[in-house]
Amino acid sequence: MPLANQLRPLPPPLRLVLGLVALMFIGAFLLWLPISGQNGGLTWNEALFTATSALTVTGLSTITPITDLSLFGVWILLILIQSGGVGFMVIAVVVLRLIGRRISLTDRLALQDSLGLLSPGAIVTLTRNVLAMVLLIETLGAILLYLHWRTDPRLNEGQALLYAVFHAVSAFCNAGFDLFSGTPGYPEGIPRDNFSLAIMGWLIFIGGLGIPVIGDLLLFWRQRRFSLHTRITLTVVSFLVVVGTLGFFFAEGQPGGTLVDEPPLRRLLICFFQSVSARTAGFAGIPDIAHITDASELLLIVLMFIGCAPASMGGGITTGTFAALMISLWSYARGLSEAQFGGRTLAVGTMRKAGAVLTVSLLVVITAIWLILITHDVSLDRASFEVVSAFATCGLSLGLTSELNLFGQFVIMGVMFWGRLGALTIVIAIARRQSQAQMIRYPEEQILIG
């Protein structure tokens, strides 16, 4: 028995945690190599922070990629972003199939957790389809960006191709890394012309919908119906995009706002892009993001905390958790004993998971903010913004990341790591599983609420 216990495979959630940790150190080592950097290369803590941010598709950075990384380093960064976006378990399964290896049940369960799926059925076929779909969308985005940016006199042909590929992957994976910051002629970072914002905005939007939703959309012509998850996701995402767009439009269009001089249609496009990007991508559509109004800053924090859909490229508590809590609240207000939506009753276990995700996420965010505040001379709003951005794997920053000391960098790295894997995955991975079911039931008693 002791030998059998030692040989027992690791639980899928723990395999995900350890796999991501291993990739973080491998990526950090590759970025730390002299060939990856310029002007002496990166320090170890810079390499580790960058690798963590890339694999968690966050975008917060203590370096400027285009000036601190060599061409080799940029490609390593791109591979890390892609690995973090599609999920390293997807890549592992594809590699195993290419070399003729069978996929074990444990690997299938780990892949199910990685993709956030409800059922492990036909998991390998789905994995191949997911990877093909991701590469197709990114390729189309890269082609459109290349054809547009190659006409820009500030970029040569090679730069236009590299930047198009890099930003198509970074946008679809909701990573937020860019190569324009530090490039001569681009003092404000990414191009903010209408075409660039439109293409990158749609890449971010599609990447944030989640694999199950994208699959439903692709198969709608045959199925003629959407699952409950897809209906809820599309409803919540549309609501958040509209609220964010209108919120930024009015907050930044008033006197003192950063977009007060922009024409209404142009301002609407910028606000739409910022609303889409705010929930996890981290690209700043508003040029002077560090000087936005307090109203916009609060709106950004809320949107980042909610984040993207489950099984997507983004983080946050996810739109699924937000929807479950809102549906439960609305059902309770109507006097219903169960949470109901669209002619369906949500499972009790789903509501418990939503409550657990929200509770754990708040504890993580508040603890991280407190640790930043006691170790740095920084205001509450800047610390809160940076921590929530890391937790949501968003990457938007008010400039605090570059000012963090070594302890602060490790705090942000821990929050990014937590935000990418999700509260439930990590809690399950570190929790001690009980070998026997709970056999004792105690008398029920109520406590005061509210």
| Cα torsion 153, 140, 263, 247: sign | negative
pLDDT above 60 (res 16): yes
Whole-number pLDDT of residue 334:
83
- Cα–Cα distances (Å) from 432 to 124, 300, 319, 422, 427, in that order, read 29, 37, 28, 18, 9
User: What is the three-class DSSP state of 119?
Assistant: coil
pLDDT above 90 (res 443): no
Q: What is the pTM of this model?
A: 0.84
Question: Which residue stretches of 8-70 are H helix?
Answer: 12-32, 44-55, 65-68
Domain boundaries, the chain: 8-429
Is residue 117 exposed (0-12), middle (13-18) or buried (19+ Cβ within 10 Å)?
middle
User: What is the three-class DSSP state of 33?
Assistant: coil
325-357: per-residue pLDDT in tens?
998 888 888 888 788 887 788 877 778 888 888
Question: Which residue stretches of 258-347 are H helix?
Answer: 264-278, 294-306, 318-333
**425 or 384, greater pLDDT:** 384
357-403: per-residue pLDDT in tens?
898 899 999 999 999 999 999 999 999 999 999 998 888 888 888 88
Q: Cα(15)–Cα(98) distance, rounded to whole angstroms?
A: 21
The torsion angles phi and psi of 37, rounded to 5 degrees, stand at -115, 175
Of 155, 163, 187, nearest in space to 284 by CA = 187
Q: What is the DSSP letter of 69?
A: B
pLDDT above 60 (res 170): yes
- Amino acid identity of residue 290, one-letter, is A
Q: Cα(55)–Cα(312) distance, rounded to whole angstroms?
A: 14
Retrieve residue 400's tokens. Answer: 């605090």
Q: What percent of the chain has pLDDT over 70?
A: 82
The string of DSSP codes covering 134-184 is HHHHHHHHHHHHHHHHTT-TTS-HHHHHHHHHHHHHHHHTT----S-TTST
Run of H or E residues at 345: strand 344-345
Q: Cα(299)–Cα(286) distance, rounded to whole angstroms?
A: 14
- Can you state the percent helix, strand and coil of the chain, rounding each to 5? 65, 0, 35
Of 111, 137, 271, nearest in space to 207 by CA = 137
Whole-number pLDDT of residue 411:
94
Per the CB < 8 A criterion, the answer to whether 275 and 240 are in contact is yes
**Which residues are within 8 A (CB) of 445 and not within 5 positions of it... i.e. 6 or more apart?**
none
Of 310, 277, 313, nearest in space to 423 by CA = 310
Whole-number pLDDT of residue 365:
94
Confidence of residue 268 (pLDDT cuts 50, 70, 90): very high
Angle between helices 228-253 and 318-333 (to 10 degrees): 100
Give the rounded distance of the alpha carbon of 91 from its chain centre: 18
| Cα torsion 238, 241, 242, 243: sign | positive
- Average pLDDT score over residue span 284-305: 88
- Cα–Cα distances (Å) from 96 to 89, 102, 119, 428, in that order, read 10, 7, 21, 26
**Mean pLDDT of all residues in the chain?**
82
User: What is the three-class DSSP state of 252?
Assistant: helix
User: What is the three-class DSSP state of 277?
Assistant: helix
Confidence of residue 285 (pLDDT cuts 50, 70, 90): confident
Confidence of residue 288 (pLDDT cuts 50, 70, 90): confident
Whole-number pLDDT of residue 94:
53
Confidence of residue 192 (pLDDT cuts 50, 70, 90): confident
Per the CB < 8 A criterion, the answer to whether 94 and 128 are in contact is yes
Per the CB < 8 A criterion, the answer to whether 60 and 416 are in contact is yes
Q: Cα(247)–Cα(294) distance, rounded to whole angstroms?
A: 12
